[in-house]
Amino acid sequence: MNVLIVYGTTEGQTRKVAEWTANHVRECGHQAELRDSAAPVSDLDFETYDAFIIAASVHQECHQETVINLVIAHLEVLETKPSAFISVSLSAVLEGGRTEAQEYVDRLITMTGWKPRMALLLGGALRFSEYDYFQEQIVKFIVMKRSAAASKERDREFTDWHALASFVDRFLEAAV
């Protein structure tokens, strides 16, 4: 099976998730091509792929516009072949945040009309070492008031790699 994995990322965690996913798909004996939604995709023929995994992170309560535009542009193919969506956000791991994380996915589905066969809410990362002063203040205000785990002001990854592996395995099994 030939799987196209497209990602949108702001701080890099979703790229890491997509790279891991592509490697896992290959380890399972399939072909995988990895593409950044911000890069030109005019040379991609979506019809040549058997399945799709799209990953996007949430920032300012929305997924990347490049991912939304890609989904809209290729909706017909995405609807006729197996497709899955991975939504990467801190809301997915914050206390009481799963409902909010699901609302971001629901909003993307409403905006695009896409109905992926599977969706995963996956935790992102905090990168204090890369934030400027204003980003750090926003993180402290929004995130830290909802999670004691983020209170140490150090870089921290919240991605559940076992949940991602299980999700990808289930998707590949169902897509064959």
The residue to which tokens 């990168």 are assigned: 127
Q: Residue 145: how many CB atoms within 10 A of its CB?
A: 11
The mean pLDDT value for 48-60 works out to: 93
Q: How high does pLDDT run on average in the chain?
A: 86
Amino acid, single-letter form, for residue 79: E
The mean pLDDT value for 162-168 works out to: 97
Give 83's DSSP letter. E
Listed residue (10, 9, 5, 30) closest to 20, CA to CA:
5
Query: How many percent of the chain have pLDDT more than 90?
Result: 64
Cα 116 from chain centroid (whole Å): 13
Listed residue (55, 72, 79, 40) closest to 4, CA to CA:
55
The mean pLDDT value for 9-34 works out to: 95
CA distances from 45 to 98, 103, 145 (A): 35, 31, 45
The mean pLDDT value for 103-122 works out to: 96
Give 57's DSSP letter. E
Q: Is the pLDDT of residue 71 over 70?
A: yes
Give 59's DSSP letter. E
Between 91 and 2, the higher pLDDT residue? 2
* Token pair recorded at residue 7: 């990602």
Residue 17 CB-density burial (10 A; 0-12 exposed, 13-18 middle, 19+ buried): buried
Separation between Cα atoms, residue 149 and residue 17, nearest integer Å: 21
List pLDDT tens digits, range 149-162: 544 556 677 899 99
Cβ-based neighbours of 98, under 8 Å, separated by 6 or more: 91, 92, 121
Highest mean pLDDT among 41-50, 54-63, 84-93, 109-118: 109-118
List pLDDT tens digits, range 91-109: 887 777 789 899 999 999 9
